[in-house]
Structure 1
Amino acid sequence: MSELTANKLYDDLTKEEQAEHDATERAREQAEQAALPYQWTQDLSTVTVTVPLPKGTKGKDINVVMGKKKLKVQLKTSNEPILEGELFNDIISDESSWTIDDGTLNIELEKLSAHIQSHQWWPHVLTHHPKIDTTKIVPENSKLEDLDSETRGMVEKMMFDNRQKAMGKPTSDELKKLEMLEKFKKAHPEMDFSNAKIS
C-alpha cells in the first residue's frame, strides 16, 4: 500500500487524491511491466504474450513449452530460458498456440476458466512476476456495449466484485444474501437475528 493510503482508505480520499494515487500506481505498474522480458494483453478467454527474439530466429531455433500451468520459452543455443515459470491459472494447452512473426514470438494461451464459464482477469502471466490491478481493467477489444447481454452482465458483475473485494466490501452475491436477510427480518420481527451469520 502506498504512503498515500497507508493511513486512509481509498474511499476516504478526495477525488484529487484518488486521481493522484491512481496515476502513481499506474506509473509504477507500467514500469514493472516494461521491465519484463515480454509484453502481454488479455481478453476474457485468451492471454496473448509477445516475446522479442534475436533477429533471424526461426521456429526450429526455439523451445516453447505450454503446460496446463507452466510456460517456458528458451532458445536452443542458450542455457538460460527467456522466460519460465508457473502460470497464474490453468490453460488448455491443446488449444494454445505460438507463432514467430518478424522477430517476435506470439503466444496465445487459452484460459481454462473461460470454458467453464468463470471468466477471470489475470493479474500476471507468471506467478513470480509483478501484478497489475485487475480492478482497473476495462475490456478493450470487447467493449461492453458490443457484448451480448449475458456476457455483458457477467463482465460487469466480475468488475464490480473485483472493485468491492479491493475495497474490502461485500461482493454482489454477499450483498444479495444481506438483502434477503433484511427482508426476512422485516417479515419476522419476532425472531432474534443478533447472532445470524452470512456465509
Structure 2
Amino acid sequence: MADVDDYDKLTPEQREAKDKEDRAREQAEQAALPYRWKQELGEVDIYVPVPKGTRGRDLVVKIQRNKLSVGLKGKEPIMEGELCKEIKVDESTWTIEDQSEVLVHLEKVSKMEWWENVLKHHPKIDVRKINPEPGKLSDLDGETRGMVEKMMFDNQQKQLGKPTSDEMKKMEMLEKFKAAHPEMDFSNAKIS
C-alpha cells in the first residue's frame, strides 16, 4: 500500500496531525450512519434507534450468515446489506431496549479479525488504531491473547517507525549468522 509507505515517511508531528484528521473524518462518517456499533475480537454489537414505543412485533430483523436487515414493518429497512465478514447465525441475537433501540448482537465466525465496517458498503474504520480494553485481553485464551498482544505491539512499532517483532527476529538471526561466519561479507545484506 502506497498509503502506508507515505505514512512511514511522515515526521511524528505530521503523523499525529494525520491521525487526528483521519480520526475526525472516521468519527463523522460513523456518526452519519443510521446506527452505532462496537466490537470485541469475537463479537459485534449494533444499536439501531427506532421510534419510542416500538415493540418487537413492529420490527423486521433478518440475521443471515453474511447479510443483515433491520427495519420497521411496512417501511424501508433502516439498515440492510452484506456484512463485511461472516457471522454465526445461531449465536447471534436481537432485542429491543427501552422501546427505542434495537440491539443486534453478532457472533463473528473469525474471532481473530477486527471488522472495518458492519455492512460492506458503509465507511470503514482504521482497524490498526483499535486498542482493546486491557481487562478484555485477560478473557482470551493464552494463544489468542499472545496473538492479539503481538498485533498490538507490531502496530505500535509501525506507528513509531520501529521494526515489528518479525523484523526484530530476522535481524537477530542475521546477527547470529554473521557472528558464526566472520569470513563472509554482509555489507550489502538486506532484510526483507
Q: Normalised by the size of structure 2, how large is the TM-score?
A: 0.78
Check 1:180–1:47 CA distance in 2 against 1; reply closer, same or farther (3 A cut).
same
Label 1:113 to 1:178 Cα distance change in 2 as closer, same or farther (>3 A).
Answer: farther
Q: Are positions 1:133 and 2:126 aligned together? A: yes
| Contact residue 38 and residue 49 of structure 1 kept, 8 A | yes
Q: Give the 3-state SS of the residue equivalent to 1:157 in structure 2.
A: helix
- Per the alignment, do residues 16 and 162 of structure 1 end up closer, same or farther by CA in structure 2, a change over 3 Å counting? closer
Deviations 1:77-101 (A, max 9, x none): 31x1100000010000110001001
Shift of 1:152: 2.3
Q: How does 1:1-199 map to 2 (within 5 A)?
A: 9-78=6-75, 80-102=76-98, 103-114=100-111, 119-140=112-133, 142-144=135-137, 149-160=142-153
Residue aligned with 2:87, SS: coil
CA contact (8 A) 1:65 1:72 kept: yes
Q: Give TM-score, length-normalised by structure 1.
A: 0.75
Higher strand fraction (1 or 2): 2
Deviations 1:38-82 (A, max 9, x none): 00000011100000001111000001000000000120031x110
Number of aligned residue pairs? 188
> 1:14: how far off?
1.6
Gaps of 5+ in 1: 190-197
Gaps of 5+ in 2: 183-191
Runs of 4+ in 1 over 3 A off after TM superposition: 141-149, 158-166, 169-189
1:134-181 deviation per Cα after TM superposition (whole angstroms, max 9, x unaligned)? 000000274546755433211123335667899xx9986688678778
